[in-house]
Amino acid sequence: MCGIVGYTGTKDVREVILKGLKRLEYRGYDSAGIAVRTDEGIYIQKKKGRIDDLSREEVPKRSAGIGHTRWATHGKPSDENAHPFLDCSNELSIVHNGIIDNFNAIKDELVEKGHEFSSETDSEVIVHLLEENYEGDLLTALKKTIRRIQGSYAVVAVQKDSDELVVARNQSPLVIGVGSQEHFVASDVPALLDHTKDVKYLQDGDIARLSKEKVEIWDEKEDLVERETKNIKWDVEDAEKSGYEHFMLKEIYEQPQAIHESILGRLTSFEDIDLSKYDFQEVQFIACGTSAHAGYVGRYIFEKLAEIPCTVEVSSEYRYTSPSDSTPFTILFSQSGETLDTIAAAREAKRRGCNTLAVTNVMDSSITREVDEVVYTQAGPEIGVAATKTFTTQVIIIYLLAIELGLRKGVLNKNKAERYKDELRRLPRKVERILDDKDKIEAMTERLAKARDVFFVGRNINYPVALEGALKLKEIAYVHAAGYPAGEMKHGPFALLTKDTPVIALAIKDHTFEKMLGNIGEIAARDSPVMVIGDEDKEVKKLSDYAYFIPETLPIFSPLLVNVVLQLIAYFTAYRLGQDIDKPRNLAKSVTVE
Ligand code: F6R
């Protein structure tokens, strides 16, 4: 994520930018900084920590500036890695949100030419490329610069000698605020609403130049274009949620982007860690709650794609297991990186001699200091207490790792691996199709909101998804729910089935499908309402009271799609019941007690 703000006009630049950044803190708060143009050069203030930690020292009053609040991706949170960045002559400065895939190659080239870098970030290459391309016109320099960079970016640049800002966008959001004798640019509208409600959304490939008087926009073909000015009706709080009523819903809707960001740069080769250093004969996954469910799904993925035997442990129980004779490679999942049970498990795994890897969403979080290796999901900050997009991106990392290890072990050949990678690329679009069906999914929840108990059943790789669906419903709707392997229902829980006990059955057309159909029939025979989520099938339609069919995919990828449906089911049930969705009672986003 990261939030960026730019301003050109006659107000106090520093105040406008800092206030705007405060409104974007939900996008990250690892560090903050501003750059303001002055006749002597660019005045810069930046620091690890929050916007309020920036010093209040007087800034020379000038009419253009940029600011940034960071969600660290490349390079830990630190003063050096904070934006904005300066070129070597202190005349140009930029802020960036996104990920530059080819920054290593560009950096090597620029260092060779004598550029001095002050940070470990991917973003800093942009300002040095700008400097390299600058021949008196910043806009032309930016056009040349973005032709060189691959990846996602929202960039805003300012220079010493002009009140103009130039900006570019590709796959990271950027919106222009239109004022009278002033213009703004930001990652999101909340940063603008104190000053204007008239905005222009930039599109991928757009480049723009902003001055006090006017805004000019060019599209990806470099044709001058008009982008419609829209009047925003939201207040600031609505706008922080991009108009969604809850952060949870917003985060559910951010999943296509989160998947995209997480696979970006990792599909050609998984370079986050040097895999050849470690022994992957056997792997264990350790985590809590939703992250543990990602681990359970991961076990099936690793076993199928890389033929690596896996065990999964809940963090708080790991210490009570006996160390095995071998020392399995240990992967700990924690979106926050602060869950004390998981941190304690990481220490214990090390004590037992295991090599450890943490998969987390928070740069430099506590768990990163306990393990040998770290892989970051790229979900952006998750504010709703219920984990949604971080689960999805944890599972994405598991696919990427398993494909890489499967290739190395010769379990997958190149063609097969490519087939899986192609499907990964298609997943964001498929998730969008499910999100477009939200009204259909919402309709299912009328019955669930009246239920006292709900069962979720699945088989094989969708059994852990049933566990996750039940957890989401419990924690945000406060409806008692249990996830079961479908075949286990007849060994006890059948006693609870009545016409008032809905069962959500996950039916995917893999080698378990026929058995699942049998289970659905058995449940329907007990008069329980059956709601099926899965692959399209006539028999399912006949047997169920309600069926939602996911977009076609390979069975191994079905958990991600099915789970998005279950997230929406939990959300809309909780909504009907009027629960406090983003802050469920008795729960916290980071659980720092054992
Ligand atoms: C459920 C949920 C929790 C977390 C668990 C672990 O929606 O969010 O079950 O998954 O507390 O948290 P992390 O992943 O931060 O270690």
Residue 248 CA to ligand 1 center (angstroms) comes to: 14
For ligand 1, is residue 412 a contact (CB within 6 Å)? no
Which residue pairs, CB below 8 angstroms and at least 24 apart, start in 219-222?
Answer: 222/143
What residue spans of 73-172 are helical by DSSP H? 103-112, 124-133, 138-148
Does ligand 1 lie within 6 Å of residue 248's CB atom?
no
290 C-beta closer than 6 A to ligand 1: yes
d(C-alpha 120, C-alpha 349), whole Å: 30
- Distance (angstroms) between ligand 1 centre and the Cα of 67 equals 32
> Do 488 and 522 form a contact (C-beta atoms < 8 A)?
no
φ, ψ dihedrals at 513, nearest 5°: -60, -45
339 in ligand 1 pocket by Cβ < 6 Å?
yes
Q: Is the CB of 123 under 6 A from ligand 1?
A: no
- How far, in Å, is the centroid of ligand 1 from the Cα of 95? 32
401 ligand 1 Cβ < 6 A: no
Tokens linked to 28: 């990250």
pLDDT for the residue numbered 335: 94
Is any ligand 1 atom within 6 A of the Cβ of residue 97?
Answer: no
- Residue 416 a catalytic site member: no
Cβ atoms within 10 Å, residue 367: 25
Pocket test for ligand 1, best of 252, 335, 465, 581 (most atoms within 8 A of CB): 335
Decide whether any atom of ligand 1 lies within 6 Å of the 289 Cβ: yes
- Pairing relation of β-strands 183-186 and 3-8? antiparallel
CA 475–ligand 1 middle distance (angstroms): 11
Residue 308 CA to ligand 1 center (angstroms) comes to: 26
Q: Which of 11, 230, 304, 589 is catalytic?
A: 589
Helix (H, G, I), strand (E, B) or coil at 315: helix
The finding on whether 384 has its CB within 6 A of some atom of ligand 1 is no
DSSP code string of 448-462: HHH-SEEEEEE-GGG
Q: Which of 2, 288, 310, 354 is catalytic?
A: 2
Q: Whose CA is nearest to atom 16 of ligand 1?
A: 334
476 lines ligand 1 (CB under 6 A): no
pLDDT in tens, the chain (594 residues): 789 999 999 998 989 999 999 888 877 778 999 999 987 789 999 999 888 888 776 666 678 999 999 888 788 889 999 999 999 999 999 999 988 989 999 999 999 999 999 999 999 999 999 999 999 999 999 999 999 999 889 999 999 989 999 999 998 889 999 999 999 999 988 899 999 999 998 999 999 999 999 999 999 999 999 999 988 877 776 777 888 999 999 999 999 999 998 998 798 888 899 999 999 999 999 999 999 999 999 999 999 999 999 999 999 999 999 888 889 999 999 999 989 899 999 999 999 999 999 999 987 788 998 999 999 998 887 889 999 999 999 999 999 999 999 999 999 999 999 999 999 999 999 999 999 999 999 999 999 999 999 999 999 999 999 999 999 999 999 999 999 999 999 999 999 999 999 999 999 999 999 999 999 999 999 999 999 999 999 999 999 999 999 999 999 999 999 999 999 999 999 999 999 999 888 877 767 666
State yes or no: is 589 an active-site residue.
Answer: yes
Q: Report the SS3 class of residue 547.
A: strand
* Nearest-CA residue for atom 3 of ligand 1: 289
How distant, in Å, are the alpha carbons of 93, 106, 124, 127, 583 from that of 117? 13, 12, 7, 10, 42
Q: How far is CA 88 from CA 60, 107, 127, 132, 535, in A?
A: 21, 14, 9, 10, 57
CA of 356 to the centre of ligand 1 (A): 19
> Would you state the pLDDT for residue 590?
67
Which pTM was predicted? 0.78
Task: Delineate the domains of the chain, giving CATH numbers in brackets.
Answer: 3-237 (3.60.20.10), 247-436 (3.40.50.10490), 438-583 (3.40.50.10490)
Q: Which mutation among 247, 290, 586 tests ligand 1's pocket best, with the greatest number of atoms within 8 A of CB?
A: 290
